[in-house]
Structure 1
């Protein structure tokens, strides 16, 4: 590990020591909560014979698991907040003094909708871990976003169940783009199985399918635009190659939008970045992993060459 990282770890050791004491207290309280829940469930089953019916036992188990989950969330919230404010923020500043970190905020629902990437209206929308600032000449906003819609089903006994379905989960970027534009262009994953057909149909009422000259780019993506000439101006040969290379390295769906004068990029991933482990201490190796994640998040500016202000079309 580099000397600068070793020095950073040395500076963080007092905070990490305090967090370790807090983590152990959280685990002690959580263990007590689990024990009390098991005792209460055992007493209920012993004292109320009717509870031993299979369907009632299931309800008791569900109630116990729900209670422990709520207690776990409440107990770990302060620990998580402190870790993010005192450790993750320091890691970000270690990488660049031009960046700010607000763990409780996100890029904003308005940006998510303005991108036009995900036309379905979400029934539940969550975001966190907002990073803002500049990388070179490029202004950047990025956060984790999770949007979902719900559906309901009814079984043969008339019981209704709510199901939640992910629209998008991952990293959502709002970035400067070095070329001016006025129309709207969407670059969407080409799954080859009709998954995005509904999305295409919705956008095609306002745009046209673009056939680009890069066959490898066309294998990964489908592009729609309100202006064919502008789409080709934005998606230069060099940019398409960089996007393909990044997609190959990332190995997950990637979405891009040029809309409303902004460049939007959405990277689909189930990973929850910058969350501390509660069941083991924070080690030096963990901090190195967090730094690796941060570098990956911020590398998008260089990977797509967004700091270049003179591009060849």
Structure 2
């Protein structure tokens, strides 16, 4: 059943937590419990292998006090033994992670949108990151994973439902690396982090001229002028929304296009989306063990923490959206239980793409070719 935004008479695509709860109980819970049983079995194997290693560790400690001349040999001997004892454990961990992503994450993706596909080892291409034109320098080291792509809306001409919008997003990490030699002639590298987080590309099929970028205020890493291979220069845009201008710096190669894109309603919804409080209060730990558990669970929190305001750019009918985040997405630790909260973390990371479509109104007829 389609959901509608009564205020704007537009179809809503994002799922609610209540819908996820129902989906989890009906379809996902049994698979999660099955894979959790496999995880516990793998943990049991880890403990069993660790116990086999205990005598060697005791001998290593004794040698420190009584036979220090053999400690080096013992240390490398234990490392050699570890490669065999824990080989099966690492293989089990990789296989379990593969199952979780190919079964559970894929099911969540399909629950959110049947038109979406999921590829755990692929990511948004580097070419798209460069085409966003947001940073003052291009990355020469770029990686990512967990690509989700598909469409929302209707692709049928004349349909009463919203026009089709193509989406793709994944986690990416972008760096610029400069090799150099120190005074002693040794080869080293200067690594400049550009971005870490979720990278979205939305093609809403609208022709417009130039490039417009919306970036956090006082961010020195972004491009303040167009790159050398472009004929046009980025100019500052002054807009009427004071709150928006206090949060973002807007630059464009075409002032008319920038104002066409950044309507008052669009700016209001953009600001609301990016400044929404998505964090929850973290309880104070009562012990060191509890503090360690809270720290590990933070990686899987269903709340998406924004490190900084996001980056946007508009070019050639596409919107590029870069959301810096503190957490790792769709990750798995064999030492943490598979729970509903972990699954909800996956759900939130995927669902945010559709929240973006809904909140920013990307499917309004004004954005689409007639």
- The answer on 1:265 being equivalent to 2:321 is yes
For residues 83-232 of structure 1, the aligned pairs below 5 Å read 83-136=100-153, 137-150=164-177, 164-177=191-204, 179-190=206-217, 192=218, 195-196=220-221, 199-201=223-225, 203=227, 206-232=233-259
> Are residues 8 and 150 of structure 1, via their aligned partners in 2, closer, same or farther at CA, if it must alter by over 3 Å?
same
2:361 is aligned to: 305
Q: Distance in 1 between matches of 2:110 and 2:353?
A: 14
For residues 52-71 of structure 1, the aligned pairs below 5 Å read none
1:21 to 7, 25, 37: 37
> Are residues 269 and 208 of structure 1, via their aligned partners in 2, closer, same or farther at CA, if it must alter by over 3 Å?
same
1:177–1:262 Cα contact (<8 Å) kept: yes
2:139–2:194 Cα contact (<8 Å) kept: yes
2:226–2:234 Cα contact (<8 Å) kept: no
> Are residues 219 and 171 of structure 1, via their aligned partners in 2, closer, same or farther at CA, if it must alter by over 3 Å?
same
- 1:103-125 deviation line (CA, Å, top 9, x unaligned): 21111111111111234233431
- 1:173-226 deviation line (CA, Å, top 9, x unaligned): 110236421211111111x3x6337x3256597322222222211111112211
Shift in Å at residue 238 of structure 1?
1.2
Report the aligned-residue RMSD. 3.9
- The answer on 1:9 being equivalent to 2:25 is yes
1:113–1:119 Cα contact (<8 Å) kept: no
- Which runs of 5 or more residues in structure 2 are unaligned? 1-16, 154-163, 279-305
Shift in Å at residue 304 of structure 1?
0.4
- The answer on 1:241 being equivalent to 2:257 is no
Could you tell me the TM-score, scaled by structure 1's length? 0.79
**Between structures 1 and 2, the one with greater helix share:** 1
> Are residues 18 and 229 of structure 1, via their aligned partners in 2, closer, same or farther at CA, if it must alter by over 3 Å?
same
Q: Distance in 1 between matches of 2:114 and 2:353?
A: 16
> Are residues 52 and 272 of structure 1, via their aligned partners in 2, closer, same or farther at CA, if it must alter by over 3 Å?
same
1:56 is aligned to: none
- Which runs of 5 or more residues in structure 1 are unaligned? 54-58
